[in-house]
Amino acid sequence: MIVQVPYQDGLLQADLTQPVDISIPLREGHETVNCFYAPYLETAPVVAGSFIGSTAKGGPVNFLNVKLNPHGNGTHTECVGHIAREPFSINETLTKFHFLAKLLSVYPTRTDAGDRVIGKAQVEDWLEPDEVEAVVLRTLPNETDKLTRHYSGTNPPYLHHEAVDYLVERGVQHLLLDLPSVDREEDEGKLLAHRAFWKYPGTVEAGRRHCTITELIYVPDDVPDGLYLLQLQITSLEIDASPSKPVLYKLV
């Protein structure tokens, strides 16, 4: 199925029969991505009297309780409620699900302090004002162990808040990246990049209430940089974040 997508003064086409899923599957156990010392995803069958919700254990159906942490267990999309004192939820703030997006591959640069940072210079002159609603950042090198990497205590790469300011100035409303966070793993609670992205405090006045950050994606090497139609799927959770399934469709 081909759909037309407005772009600048013309139209581009997306083939909906060729999706590129850039989410990381949620799996039980330690052989999966994890960060911020979050407990690993767990499932357990419901047990009620003689009933057990597991066909492997003799039950008639699989009927599982699931325990997870959206921020630490895999691909997730978060709203300003992640840092706000006000009770914003991802379900109430994300009300559109298709966006014009641009994918960029970037090498984080090492600072004198040893951090690996994506700075403003690495995203400058790449976007025209209001060119796209969403930006997808793929960090290099792009090892496949990103699908199972344990990030806790490793000081992963992050975005400099000036780079985030620049993206916001360019009209970016939805930011996706293959890192645990836009901010440094330990930054004394400053959360400079998160605050820059949502313009918090002042989010509502700045028109940033509906904006989202999606972390822990994985974009395969065979997906070239460029323009895409992004579909951003979440569960209808009334909390700050949800496990999510971002999907790209190439635009031509």
Task: Report yes or no on 46 lying in a domain.
Answer: no
pLDDT score recorded for residue 113:
87
Distance (Å, whole) CA 34 – CA 75: 10
For 247, the 3-state DSSP assignment is strand
Task: Report yes or no on 83 lying in a domain.
Answer: yes
Q: Above 90 in pLDDT, residue 22?
A: yes
9-13, 142-146, 163-167, 174-178: segment of lowest average pLDDT: 9-13
Task: Report yes or no on 60 lying in a domain.
Answer: no
Prediction pTM value: 0.97
CB 33 within 8 A of CB 25: no
Distance (Å, whole) CA 202 – CA 200: 5
pLDDT score recorded for residue 9:
86
Percent of the chain with pLDDT over 90: 97
Distance (Å, whole) CA 224 – CA 205: 36
Task: Report yes or no on 87 lying in a domain.
Answer: yes
Instruction: Write the CB contacts of 124 (distance below 8 Å, at least 6 apart in sequence).
Output: 166
Distance (Å, whole) CA 175 – CA 252: 22
Residues 189-219 have pLDDT tens digits of 999 999 999 999 999 999 999 999 999 999 9
Task: Report yes or no on 51 lying in a domain.
Answer: no
In the sheet with 158-159, reading across from the earlier edge strand, the strands are 109-110, 116-118, 158-159
According to DSSP H, which parts of the chain are helical? Answer: 90-93, 120-123, 161-169, 192-198
Task: Report yes or no on 75 lying in a domain.
Answer: yes
- Mean pLDDT over residues 153-182, rounded? 98
Task: Report yes or no on 48 lying in a domain.
Answer: no
Q: Residue length, the chain?
A: 252
For 152, the 3-state DSSP assignment is coil
For residue 142, the enclosing domain spans: 2-25+70-250
Task: Report yes or no on 150 lying in a domain.
Answer: yes
Total count of domains within the chain: 1
What is the CATH number for 228? Answer: 3.50.30.50
Output the CA–CA distances (angstroms, integers) from residue 108 to 65, 94, 123, in the order listed. 39, 29, 11
